[in-house]
Structure 1
Amino acid sequence: MGLEQFKNRNVGTQNYTKLDLPRSPVTGWCKFKQVVSRTLSGELFVGLGVTMRIMVQSLVGGQSHATLYPFEKLPISPRYRAIHEMLRLLESGHYRCIGCGLCEKICPADCITMDTAYDKNQRKEVTEYTINFGRCIFCGYCAEVCPELAIVHGNRIETASEQRASFSLFDDMLTPIDNLNLQQEYQGFGAVTPNADENIKKTPLAY
């Protein structure tokens, strides 16, 4: 339809279809009849049939569609940002953190507190390191900015506690010295990938 035809169109000559829509019930009896008619229409029983079928498959056939947490846990991605972990040096067992304070400065939630001092060998050591998980938003900035790969996100996702101060101390996040041989280097958000050396030679600007 052109512009002139659109302007000169006769709206009264067009054919319209009038829809006879049911009115909303006003009285209590009309509302009751509407509920009964919708209940007996079959839509409710279709949903109940699907529920019963899934329940029978779970009880009789053993085809469970749910995970029995905490007895069963779904696998999580190695790049998932869970509770932080502090890694150690595999050679000496000393913690990798050098106390540079970059994680404390970059934290947008201001939940990292660090205090450092110099030991007898004039090496900076971390005397206090806490993360307030009540304020942490698990953005991963601390793991990305760490120059020593000392802090990564592990696979511990249970953060429930009775005290706010729980799971926030440096020793709680540090890898136990007895399990140093079980420490996985390339795991957790913020850690480098196993083929990082090959990738950095190909595209150095991307790394």
Structure 2
Amino acid sequence: MNMEPFNDRNVAEGGYYLVDIEDYPTTPWGKFKRVAKRTFKGELFVGLWVVLREMFKADIHTVQYPAEKMPIGPRYRAVHEMKRLWESDAERCIGCGLCEKICISNCIRMETRYDENQRKEVGEYSINLGRCIFCGYCAEVCPELAITHGGEYENASDQREHFILYDDMLTPIDTMKAKAQQEFEGFGAITPHEDERVKKTPLAY
């Protein structure tokens, strides 16, 4: 690297100017004079005025949490939600294992088995929310939109076992009957007017 432009700079013609920086005091009396000078110069009172002005404002925008909560976006990545099929109220998860494979924090565990009709079903499914970094890869890779991120971000607990409860993430049956399950566009999502076109099926998937 050529250092000549930096070594041969003309300070007078380059628009530079020297900053007048006082030497730091070394004696106690010099330090006291510096504090007194900075105090009575006005900066301290300007800061105090800003604090008092904000303190006594009438339009305070304080959220009374947890009685009041700020709205969050629909794509917010909080605690996972396991979706159900609208026509059969069964779980959407088909046990493909893609979410378990793509999880970079290694927090998803899935065990599958075959039922009496030799169809694959999910035996056990757990997400360790203590390890999860909420990256959203599991929701992106799911071909059936069976797992999404919801808006429940209050997941504090004093027991580790509370972080892996599958039933808490699965959509309740009564919520499905009320058609309150939030859906997203994509492969596997429901279509408009599905109640008129979809019939109940005896299959559990």
1:99 to 78, 95, 113: 95
Please list, as runs of the form range in 1=range in 2, the aligned pairs for 1:12-161 lying within 5 A after superposition.
20-57=20-57, 61=58, 63-161=59-157
2:183: which partner in 1? Answer: 185
Give 1:167 deviation, angstroms: 3.1
Q: TM-score, normalised by structure 1?
A: 0.76
TM-score (norm 2): 0.77
TM-superposed deviation, 1:51: 1.7
How far does residue 136 in structure 1 lie from its aligned partner after superposition? 0.9
| Structure 2 portions without partners, runs of 5+ | 192-205
Provide the C-alpha distance between the structure 1 equivalents of 2:44 and 2:175, rounded to a whole number of angstroms. 56
Percentage identity across paired residues of the two chains: 60
Give structure 1 regions of 4+ aligned residues with deviation exceeding 6 angstroms: none
How many matched pairs? 178
Root mean square deviation of aligned Cα? 2.8
Q: How far is the alpha carbon of 1:145 from its aligned partner?
A: 0.6
Shift in Å, 1:37:
1.8
Residue 148 and residue 28 in structure 1: after superposition, are their counterparts in 2 closer, same or farther (change >3 A)?
same
2:183 and 2:190 in contact (8 A); partners too: no
| Cα pair 1:102 1:145 within 8 Å, conserved | yes
- Structure with more of its chain in helix, by fraction: 1
Structure 1 CA distance for aligned equivalents of residues 17 and 183 of structure 2? 71
Shift of 1:177: 0.9
Q: Partner of 1:128: helix, strand, or coil?
A: strand
Cα 1:110–1:19 change in 2 (3 A) is: closer
SS in 2 for 1:116: strand
Query: What letter is aligned with 1:125?
Result: E
- Residue by residue, what CA displacement relative to the aligned partner does 1:89-111 show, whole Å, maximum 9, x if unpaired? 11111110011100000111111
